[in-house]
Amino acid sequence: MHEIKCPKCGEVFQVDESGYAELLSQVRNEAFEEELHKRARELEDKNKSDLKMAQMQQEKTFAEALTDKDKELANKEMEIQKLKNQLAMGDSEKKLAVNEAIRDKDKEIADINASVIELKSKLANQKTESELKEKNLEERYKTELKLKDEQIEQYKDFKARQSTKMVGESLEQHCQIQFNSLRMTAFPNAYFEKDNAVSGTGSKGDFIFRDFDDGQEFISIMFEMKNEMDTTASKHKNEDFFKELDKDRKEKNCEYAVLVSLLEADNELYNNGIVDVSYKYEKMYVIRPQFFIPMITLLRNAALNSLQYQKELAVVRNQQVDLYNFEANMQEFKDAFGKNYRLASEKFQTAIEEIDKTIEHLEKVKKNLMSSENNLRLANNKAEDLSIKKLTKNAPSVKKMFDDLNNSEASIGDGAD
């Protein structure tokens, strides 16, 4: 249970582990959402600023080109008018020259119009090129996003299995291989085999471990292995198997019962290390597969030490040694055992926390990539909606140049007719 104090009224109330985790998740989600919106606004403002600068630059270039062409067109029109005035004087030779000049000027005007069209075409090409770059960038982000999703799934799978490396093998096979790889060096006198003997109630465990010293059994463990695929429709809980495992332990005369489980992969209680459930069933533990060998070692060493102490106690009794020294040695062993157990649990917890941080970081990268994709889509929509009318909305002088150019083209067309 966790105590939480209200910052407003000062009242203190208690919440269980699930409630506390949910409150903590809400606080993290709110901070993450706030940071996400902030980053999205900053990216959107930057895109708007870049787009505005590009538009202003294009407007400036286009306006300068139009101004030059308008000046050139005005000069040509003045020359045409001058020639027309000379033609009005009745000189036939001058009329011919004027006509030729008019044709030349008409050609120049046509060239100017072609230049204007070319400028418009270049502007359209630039827009198409920009759209192509945005599309390529969007595809690249989608590819990176897919890779991040795959990496996140790999880390989630790694966290659930905790480095058991169960490629093409069952949980039972994995544990058996782990034990056999150390049998001759760590457990030379041990018995570890499948529990093939069905009890009177029709049940049996998976494996039985027994170890001996000078022919005397000093420890026995009943093992049950439980694995469940993520796609399984009905999910089991570890506690669903406690009662049957305890019954098998007693019927096979085993001292301890251990459930090696991959069930409830997201349950932090079972992910933190060795879980003692003796409050429900005597001498029963639940572990993840990575604790399989350490669990056997801890129980075996404890039992072996206990056996050694028993032998020493017999010697002490025979020699009438002070029992105080024996109790001190026993306490020292308990303290050392407890210290080693705590250190092992803390290291496993630290490793799990680092994995959680890595998953959280990859989730943030995924969200940022998704936000960038959305902003690119908005920028693309704005670029598609771009037109000469919108570009000249707040630039009346540029709009007037376009109107004059259109009117000039219309009047020249009428004169040609």
What is the structure's pLDDT at 374? 73
Section 168-186 average pLDDT: 85
d(CA 176, CA 223): 11
As given in the structure block, the two tokens for residue 12 are 């203190």
* Most confident residue range from 187-196, 330-339, 404-413: 187-196
Which amino acid appears at position 300 of this protein?
Answer: R
pLDDT at 157 over 80: no
Q: What is the pLDDT of residues 187-198, one digit of tens each?
A: 999 999 998 877
Q: Average pLDDT of the chain?
A: 76
pLDDT given for residue 76 in this prediction: 77
* Residue-level pLDDT at 162: 45
Beta bridge partners of 23: none
Fill in the DSSP letter of residue 195: -
Higher-pLDDT residue of 219 and 370 is 219
Tokens of 140: 């690249």
Task: Decide: 145 and 373 in contact? Cβ < 8 Å.
Answer: yes
Burial level of 211, CB count in 10 A (0-12/13-18/19+)? buried
Judge contact between 309 and 326, C-beta under 8 A.
yes
**Tokens coding 201:** 């109630």
Delimiting residues of CATH 3.40.1350 domain(s) in the chain: 171-301
Residue 24 clears pLDDT 50, i.e. is over it? yes
The three state secondary structure string of 219-269 is: EEEEEEEECCCCCCCCCCCHHHHHHHHHHHHHHCCCCEEEEEECCCCCCHH
Retrieve residue 285's tokens. Answer: 């533990």
Half-sphere exposure of 327 (CA within 13 A, CB side): 3
Q: How confident is the model at residue 339 (pLDDT cuts 50, 70, 90)?
A: confident
Of all helices (H) and strands (E), which one includes residue 211?
Answer: strand 207-213
**pTM: predicted TM-score of the whole model, two decimal places:** 0.39
| Predicted pLDDT at 192 | 94
User: Are 182 and 170 within 8 A, CB to CB?
Assistant: no
Length of the chain: 417
Q: What is the mean pLDDT of residues 157-185?
A: 70
Q: Is the dihedral of CA 17, 18, 23, 25 positive or negative?
A: positive
Neighbours of 204 (CB within 10 A): 18
Most confident of 144-158, 272-286, 343-357: 272-286
Domain with residues 171-301, CATH architecture: 3-Layer(aba) Sandwich (3.40)
Question: Quick one: pLDDT at residue 137?
Answer: 73
Report residue 231's pLDDT band, with 50, 70 and 90 as the boundaries. very low
Q: Residues 312-334: what's their mean pLDDT?
A: 69
* Residue 241, pLDDT above cutoff 80: yes
Backbone region of residue 215 per phi and psi (left: phi > 0; alpha: psi in -120 to 50; beta: other values): left
Percent of the chain with pLDDT over 70: 68
Mean pLDDT of 48-60: 76
Alpha-carbon distance 217 to 189, whole Å?
10
Query: Tens digits of per-residue pLDDT, 72-85?
Result: 777 877 877 777 77
Least confident interval from 62-66, 156-160, 245-249, 267-271: 156-160
- Amino acid identity at 198: V
Of 144-153, 155-164, 272-281, 355-364, the poorest mean pLDDT is in 155-164
**Biggest CA-to-CA distance, the chain:** 153
pLDDT tens readout for residues 245-285: 999 999 999 999 999 998 988 899 999 889 999 999 999 99
Query: Which amino acid type is present at position 408?
Result: S
Average pLDDT over residues 388-412: 69
Q: From CA 225, how far away is CA 258, in angstroms rounded?
A: 9
Average the pLDDT over 23-46 and give the result. Answer: 68
User: Cα separation of 281 and 239, whole Å?
Assistant: 10
Mean pLDDT of 300-315: 83
pLDDT given at position 166: 45
Mark 111-143 as b/e (b = at least 16 C-beta within 10 Å): ebbeebeeeeeebeeeeeebeeeeeeeeeebee
Tokens of 243: 């009662």
> How is residue 291 annotated by DSSP?
G
User: What is the tens place of the pLDDT at every residue in 285-307?
Assistant: 999 999 999 999 999 999 988 88
Strand 284-287 to strand 12-15: parallel, antiparallel, or no bridges (unpaired)? unpaired
